[in-house]
């Protein structure tokens, strides 16, 4: 089998032609491309923690963390380093190979940078890959994060350049591209994708993927999110995207960026097993594992494990950890969750009685 040529010069017509293929033909091409660069039955597993929640000055119309909208979100200041590292240790025990930390900032301040850098060093000391999303970075901040050992920086483009101003007005598209350039120049890997289902057109999905695929270096990780509609945000009532359009977007991303991890990201909680299975067939090979993705629900860890078993999928191994050990770590996490659930159910009547007495 000949290896797919890595390209950075995709035309609009070429990308549109991929989207407009018969569904089975598109999935066959995406799966064929996927198998040239990845084990088709392995998925990279990450855990995401919100280290600072809410009060963001940006006006992203999809985001419950924006200070512009009243979504009832409980705001939290920057977490203590110790608590972040405790969560990272739990993620490692549950089988995650990468720990991602997100802060609802327009950009990190110099006051907060020392704490952020300490988090990175602590996560790296555990043997985990470290990823952060902190908003806009200047060149010096990118250099500091790289020096601390940060592996990935996430900064999504969200949508096409043409549709972008309909979603966000407080940060320009060029600012996002500049941050990605600083990350690359500092030697870090790029995690960059977008959100589907915000009312964008097929033309906008084509536009977003063309920007990503025509970068001088493809993002190593490409999260494809399905909009999670949150009451209080301007997009709370937007029309649902057809799942087949979402799967097509996954497939085209795989074909355009063959060596990238394509992440089935936000919105999985609303997808049934069959849709998720088709996304994996289309070339998705990365997920967030756990009950919450920043501030929105994510499928429970044991549900992911059950689905993996049905599909014969295993998590990508961490360096220095065998497949068997990785499998056992995930099974142990499932048992702990089941035991906690049983304990919670058994203790609920006593808790209610105690509340009544008080």
Torsion angles phi and psi, residue 338, rounded to 5 = -65, -40
Q: Got the DSSP string for 245-270?
A: HHHHHHHHHHHHSTTSEEEE-TTGGG
**Res 74 pLDDT > 80:** no
User: Residue 105: pLDDT above 90?
Assistant: no
Beta strands in the chain (DSSP E): 42-52, 98-103, 129-133, 152-154, 189-191, 194-196, 221-226, 261-264, 286-288, 292-293, 296-297, 314-315
Residue 19 has pLDDT above 80, yes or no: yes
Q: Flag whether pLDDT at 301 surpasses 90.
A: no
Q: 3-state class of 65 per DSSP?
A: coil
Dihedral sign of CA atoms 251, 252, 253, 259 in order: positive
How many angstroms separate the CA atoms of 84 and 117, rounded? Answer: 12
Confidence (pTM): 0.81
Are 303 and 338 spatial neighbours (Cβ–Cβ below 8 Å)? no
pLDDT averaged over every residue in the chain:
82
* Residue 139 confidence (pLDDT) above 80: yes
Confidence of residue 1 (pLDDT cuts 50, 70, 90): low
Between 335 and 18, the higher pLDDT residue: 18
Mean pLDDT on 144-156: 94
What does the pLDDT average to over 43-69?
77
Asked if residue 280 has pLDDT above 50, the reply is yes
Model confidence over 214-234: pLDDT tens digits? 999 999 999 999 998 888 888
> What is each CA distance from 74 to 64, 103, 169, in whole angstroms?
10, 14, 24
Which amino acids are annotated catalytic? 56, 60, 63, 100, 131, 191, 263
Report whether pLDDT(154) > 90: yes
Q: What is the CA radius of gyration of the chain?
A: 20
pLDDT in tens, 198-213: 999 999 999 999 999 9
pLDDT surpassing 60 at residue 332: no
What percentage of the chain reaches a pLDDT higher than 70?
80
Give the 3-state secondary structure of residue 38: coil
Quote the pLDDT of residue 189: 95
Q: How confident is the model at residue 71 (pLDDT cuts 50, 70, 90)?
A: low
């Amino acid at each position: 089998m000949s290896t797919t040529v890595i390209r950075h010069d995709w035309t609009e017509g070429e990308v549109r032609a991929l989207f407009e293929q018969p569904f089975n033909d598109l999935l066959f091409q995406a799966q064929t491309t996927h198998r040239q660069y990845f084990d088709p039955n392995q998925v990279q597993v990450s855990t995401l923690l919100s280290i600072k929640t809410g009060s963001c000055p940006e006006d992203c119309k999809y985001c419950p963390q924006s200070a512009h909208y009243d979504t009832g979100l409980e705001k939290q200041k920057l977490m203590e380093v110790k608590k972040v590292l405790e969560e990272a240790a739990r993620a490692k025990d549950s089988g995650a190979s990468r720990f991602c930390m997100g802060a609802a900032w327009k950009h990190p301040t110099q006051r907060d940078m020392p704490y952020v850098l300490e988090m990175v060093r602590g996560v790296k000391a555990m043997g985990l890959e470290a990823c952060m999303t902190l908003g806009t970075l200047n060149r010096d901040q990118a250099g500091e994060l790289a020096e601390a050992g940060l592996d990935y920086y996430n900064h999504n483009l969200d949508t096409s350049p043409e549709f972008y101003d309909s979603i966000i007005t407080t940060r320009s598209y060029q600012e996002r591209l500049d941050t990605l350039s600083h990350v690359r120049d500092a030697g870090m890997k790029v995690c960059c994708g977008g959100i589907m289902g915000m009312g964008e057109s097929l033309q906008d999905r084509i536009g977003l993927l063309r920007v990503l695929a025509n970068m001088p270096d493809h993002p190593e990780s490409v999260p494809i999110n399905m909009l999670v509609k949150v009451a209080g945000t301007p997009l709370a009532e937007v029309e649902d995207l057809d799942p087949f359009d979402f799967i097509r977007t996954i497939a085209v991303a795989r074909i355009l960026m063959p060596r990238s991890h394509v992440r089935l990201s936000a919105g999985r909680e609303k997808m049934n097993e069959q849709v998720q299975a088709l996304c994996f067939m289309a070339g998705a090979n990365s997920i967030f594992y756990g009950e919450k993705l920043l501030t929105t629900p994510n499928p429970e860890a044991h549900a992911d494990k059950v689905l993996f078993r049905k599909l014969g999928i295993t998590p990508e191994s961490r360096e220095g950890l065998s497949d068997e050990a990785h499998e056992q770590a995930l099974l142990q996490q499932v048992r702990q969750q089941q035991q906690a659930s049983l304990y919670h159910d058994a203790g609920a009547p006593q808790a209610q009685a105690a509340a009544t007495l008080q």
